Every structure is written in structure tokens, then in C-alpha cells.
């Protein structure tokens, strides 16, 4: 029993759990944005099924660990640059993420004018779930490959995944509702998805971008947006108070 809880394993467990939680936040944002295109009565169900699919995908990839590690072997070369199946999956997933986020921003901006021809096109329930599953495969693949290189104990990886799924189930609803209530936050989240897509493509081409830089940039953007939201709320309260006094 003591060998299961050595300092090295506990550190690996904490690191992997943090990694999965960060990945879970990315998934929550993406799931919330996609689910937001469905009718209100279907959104909660789509979020739950999307997260359940995420859990199944990650665990399936984990238990196919030998096959996953083989995906890093070079398959072909182009101008001296070797590409593995992992690289191609990351490049394809990054392109999909950029295209999807760009289309969502287009719908958000162009549809804001009230022109009926520019309103959001209804998205099928199955289509939303399928898109969530595709992106989760990409995110999970990168995470699992990293986990394989960090620790040999499979129970550590399973524990980290279960914790992240529990986090997603607990906070997917509130985060999704918050994103829907604040359009600027939604655009910021979509911008994050574009940046993540670029990181995935760069990684697929062998140009590793330290995740610390990416998440530092995200944290700074969130901090600036939080200040903007606070200013807008204060101005709104001031205007409402002035209106109330004028009416009185």
C-alpha cells in the first residue's frame, strides 16, 4: 500500500489532475458554446451527454494506451519534416477548432443586427454531440500521451480523469449560463479556442509552445475582461440609480 502513495506518485497525481482540470475547462467552454446553439430545453442534456462522452473517450483512450504510444512513431516525411498519426490528428483537430470558433464568431457578429437571414442556423442535437466528441478526442489524445510519459501507474491516470469529469459535471451548467449571459465573454472564449487550435497545429508540426505562455495569456485576458465587466456593472448601477432619482 505504501508503494502506491510514494511522494513521486502523489506529485504525479496532483500534476495530472491539474492538467485534466485545465483540459476540462477547455471542454466546458467548447461544450457550452455548442450547446448554446440548441433550443434552451435541450442544452442541459447536451452538456451532460457531451461530458459523458468525454469520460468514455478519455477512459477508452487510456485503456488503449499501447496503441496511443505507437501513434507517435513517424509515418511519412515532407521536406524533411516527419509526421506521425498523432501529429496529423493534432493538425486536423486544430484546423477544425479554428474553423468552428471562427464560424461561431461570424454568427455572433453578423447575427447581432437582427436580419432574419443572418440568424443562427438551427443545429441538430446529434450534430452537437458529434462535434463535442471529435474535439474531445483531440484534447484527450494530447493529454493521455503526456500522462503516459509522466507516470506508469494506470490508476493515477484514471483518478485524474475521474476528478476532471466530476468537475465538468459540477460546473458545466453555471459556466455555460454565464457564457450565454455575457456576449463579450463568449467572444473571448471563442478567441481562446482559436489560440488553442493554433497551438495544436504548431505542436503537430513539431513546434512546441510552452503551455505556461498560453495560459498566462488567457489569464491576463480574463483579468482584463473581469475589470471591463466590473466597470460596465458599476456604470449600469449608476445609471439605474440616476434614473430612479429622476423618476422620484
**Cα gap 104→186, rounded to integer Å:** 10
Same domain, 234 and 137: no
pLDDT at 227: 92
**Cα gap 21→34, rounded to integer Å:** 20
Q: Please give the tally of structural domains in the chain.
A: 2
Higher-pLDDT residue of 99, 151: 99
Same domain, 114 and 232: no
Same domain, 77 and 188: yes
Same domain, 199 and 90: yes
Sorting pLDDT into bands at 50, 70 and 90, what band is 26? Answer: low
Residue 69 CB neighbour total at 10 angstroms: 14
Among residues 143, 49, 14, 153, which one has the least CA distance to residue 89? 143
Judged by average pLDDT, the poorest of 32-41, 51-60, 107-116, 126-135 is 107-116
Same domain, 7 and 129: yes
Higher-pLDDT residue of 45, 100: 45
Domain with 232 in it: 210-248
What would the pLDDT profile of 190-243 be if each residue is shown by its tens digit? Answer: 787 788 788 888 888 888 887 777 778 878 888 888 898 889 888 888 888 887
Among residues 93, 120, 58, 50, which one has the least CA distance to residue 193? 93
Among residues 18, 23, 77, 12, which one has the least CA distance to residue 51? 23
Same domain, 104 and 226: no
Per-residue pLDDT at 70 exceeds 60: yes
Domain-terminating residue out of 178, 194, 209 = 209
pLDDT at 4: 57
Residue 146 CB neighbour total at 10 angstroms: 14
Q: Is 122 helix (H, G, I), strand (E, B) or coil?
A: coil
**Cα gap 228→224, rounded to integer Å:** 6
Residues 6+ apart with CB under 8 A from 154: 62, 65
Same domain, 217 and 185: no
Per-residue pLDDT at 120 exceeds 50: no
Same domain, 105 and 217: no
Same domain, 224 and 242: yes
- Report the Cα 151 to chain-centroid distance in Å: 24
Same domain, 232 and 144: no
**Cα gap 157→151, rounded to integer Å:** 8
Beta strands in 71-227 (DSSP E): 74-78, 81-84
Same domain, 126 and 230: no
Same domain, 82 and 112: yes
Amino acid at each position: 500500500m505504501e508503494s502506491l502513495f510514494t511522494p513521486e506518485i502523489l506529485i504525479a497525481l496532483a500534476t495530472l489532475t491539474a492538467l485534466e482540470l485545465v483540459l476540462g475547462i477547455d471542454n466546458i467552454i467548447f461544450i457550452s458554446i455548442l450547446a448554446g446553439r440548441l433550443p434552451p430545453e435541450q442544452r442541459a442534456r447536451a452538456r451532460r451527454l457531451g461530458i459523458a462522452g468525454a469520460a468514455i473517450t478519455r477512459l477508452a483512450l487510456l485503456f488503449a494506451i499501447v496503441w496511443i504510444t505507437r501513434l507517435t512513431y513517424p509515418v511519412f516525411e515532407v521536406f524533411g519534416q516527419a509526421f506521425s498519426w498523432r501529429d496529423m490528428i493534432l493538425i486536423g483537430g486544430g484546423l477544425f477548432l479554428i474553423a468552428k470558433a471562427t464560424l461561431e464568431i461570424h454568427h455572433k457578429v453578423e447575427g447581432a443586427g437582427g436580419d432574419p437571414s443572418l440568424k443562427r442556423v438551427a443545429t441538430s442535437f446529434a450534430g452537437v454531440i458529434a462535434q463535442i466528441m471529435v474535439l474531445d478526442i483531440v484534447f484527450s489524445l494530447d493529454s493521455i500521451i503526456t500522462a503516459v510519459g509522466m507516470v506508469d501507474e494506470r490508476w493515477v491516470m484514471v483518478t485524474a480523469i475521474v476528478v476532471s469529469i466530476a468537475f465538468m459535471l459540477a460546473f458545466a451548467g453555471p459556466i455555460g449560463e454565464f457564457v450565454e449571459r455575457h456576449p463579450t465573454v463568449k467572444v473571448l472564449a471563442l478567441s481562446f479556442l482559436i489560440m488553442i487550435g493554433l497551438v495544436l497545429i504548431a505542436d503537430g508540426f513539431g513546434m512546441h509552445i510552452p503551455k505556461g505562455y498560453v495560459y498566462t495569456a488567457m489569464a491576463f485576458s480574463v483579468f482584463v475582461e473581469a475589470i471591463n465587466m466590473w466597470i460596465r456593472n458599476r456604470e449600469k448601477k449608476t445609471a439605474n440609480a440616476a434614473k430612479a432619482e429622476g423618476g422620484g
